[in-house]
Amino acid sequence: MKIAHISDLHWLDLSGASPFEFLNKRLTGGFNLLAGRARKHTKDAVRNALETIAAQHCDHLIVTGDLTNLALSGEFLGVKKLLNAYFDDERMTIVPGNHDFYTRESAHARRFETLIYGKAGARIGDLDIQNEGTSWPFVRLVGDVAVIGLNSAQPRPWFVATGRLGTAQIEALTRAFAHPEIQSRFKIVALHHHLFQVVRTPGECWRHLDDRKAFLDVCAQGKCDLIVHGHNHDFTQKRYGDVVISEAGSCSVSRFERDPRAGKFNIYEIVGHKLMAVQTWRYASGAYALWKTTSPGAFECVGPDVHTENSGG
Ligand SMILES: [Fe+2]
Ligand SMILES: [Fe+2]
Residue 229 alpha carbon to ligand 1 centre in Å: 11
The total of other beta-carbon atoms located within 10 Å of residue 291's CB is 15
Q: How far apart are CA 112 and CA 56, in angstroms?
A: 28
**Residue pLDDT, tens place only, 282-291:** 999 899 999 9
Bridge partners (DSSP) of residue 246 are 228, 237
Residue 263 alpha carbon to ligand 2 centre in Å: 15
* Alpha-carbon 134 to chain mean position: 18
Tell me the one-letter amino acid at 239: R
Residue 250 alpha carbon to ligand 1 centre in Å: 7
Ion ligand 1 nearby residues (CB, 5 A)? 8, 66
Tell me the one-letter amino acid at 118: G
Tell me the one-letter amino acid at 193: H
Is 298 buried (19+), middle (13-18) or exposed (0-12) by CB count in 10 A? exposed
Residue 183 alpha carbon to ligand 2 centre in Å: 30
Residue 271 alpha carbon to ligand 2 centre in Å: 31
CA nearest neighbour of 266 among 24, 62, 51, 23 = 62
Q: How far apart are CA 69 and CA 214, in angstroms?
A: 29
For helices 73-86 and 43-55, what crossing angle results, to 10°? 20
**Residue pLDDT, tens place only, 22-79:** 656 666 666 666 566 777 889 999 999 999 999 999 999 999 999 999 999 999 999 9
Which pTM does this prediction carry?
Answer: 0.92
Name the closest ligand to CA 154. Answer: 2
Residue 230 alpha carbon to ligand 2 centre in Å: 7
Q: How far apart are CA 187 and CA 93, in angstroms?
A: 13
Domains and CATH numbers, the chain: 2-13+31-301 (3.60.21.10)
Residue 220 alpha carbon to ligand 1 centre in Å: 26
What are the residues whose beta carbons fall under 8 Å from the beta carbon of 301, sequence distance 6 or more?
A: 238, 239, 240, 241
Residue 192 alpha carbon to ligand 2 centre in Å: 7
Maximum distance among all Cα pairs of the chain, rounded to whole angstroms:
52
CA nearest neighbour of 78 among 155, 151, 137, 17 = 17
Residue 261 alpha carbon to ligand 2 centre in Å: 14
Residue 188 alpha carbon to ligand 2 centre in Å: 20
Phi and psi, residue 163, nearest 5°: -125, 165
**Residue pLDDT, tens place only, 149-183:** 999 998 777 777 889 999 999 999 999 999 999 99
Residue 65 alpha carbon to ligand 1 centre in Å: 7
Mean pLDDT lowest among 14-18, 138-142, 240-244: 14-18
Cβ atoms of 299 and 239 closer than 8 Å? yes
